[in-house]
Amino acid sequence: MNASSDRPRPQTYGRGALPQEATRVVEVRMDDGLRFNPATVTARRGEIVTFRVINTGKVMHEFTMGGQDAQDLHEAQMAEMTMTGQSGDPTMSGMDMTGMDHTKMPSTPEHKKYMSLLAKRIATLDRTAAANLSVHVPPGQSRDLTWAFTGEKAPVYGCHVPQHWAGGMRGTVVLNPT
């Protein structure tokens, strides 16, 4: 175990914040076409914004705010949960798993090798990824997520329901000086 992994992660892309700290609400809609609307949000550096995330589709979506490393980490964790059947979310059990061949061969050497590589990737990313914040939004519902844009870099947002991130369900933040 590396001692540096016990230190707080640098808030390179900002951090989660309390709703009462926010000075603005931005609505973001998610749909089954795997798109965010808007797909780009502009914020001032230091600004604290509540994202009101609305799922207008018929399947589960989620909204994760964070840097690229944090997005990659979350994507790998979701893949691991899916492949080990540890979703824990009954609303996700009806999702389309076509194309996820590894779920169909849980005991093959190839699957074990894949899961081992996935676990290593998660461990590596977990040591370097900055903070992220995530919320699942069932169909027809909305959830709030508050983010402080206090980092030096602009985070990105995305949905990590299996195949959604890969399908282009991502958005970008443009950070303007205060």
- Which residues sit at the interface with Cu ion, rule CB under 5 A? 61, 159, 161, 164, 169
Choice between 48 and 65, CB closer to Cu ion? 65
CA 97 to the chain's CA centroid: 19
Residue 119 beta carbon to Cu ion: minimum distance, rounded to whole angstroms: 24
CA quadruple 35, 38, 43, 47: dihedral positive or negative? negative
Choice between 74 and 164, CB closer to Cu ion? 164
Residue 7 beta carbon to Cu ion: minimum distance, rounded to whole angstroms: 33
**CA pair distance 13, 128, nearest whole angstrom:** 13
Choice between 78 and 159, CB closer to Cu ion? 159
**CA pair distance 152, 67, nearest whole angstrom:** 11
Residue 31 beta carbon to Cu ion: minimum distance, rounded to whole angstroms: 9
Choice between 41 and 169, CB closer to Cu ion? 169
**CA pair distance 149, 38, nearest whole angstrom:** 18
Choice between 65 and 169, CB closer to Cu ion? 169
Residue nearest to Cu ion (CB): 159
Residue 125 beta carbon to Cu ion: minimum distance, rounded to whole angstroms: 21
**CA pair distance 141, 29, nearest whole angstrom:** 10
How many angstroms separate the Cα of 167 from the Cα of each of 15, 32, 34, 48, 84? 26, 11, 7, 29, 22
**CA pair distance 46, 49, nearest whole angstrom:** 10
Residue 117 beta carbon to Cu ion: minimum distance, rounded to whole angstroms: 25
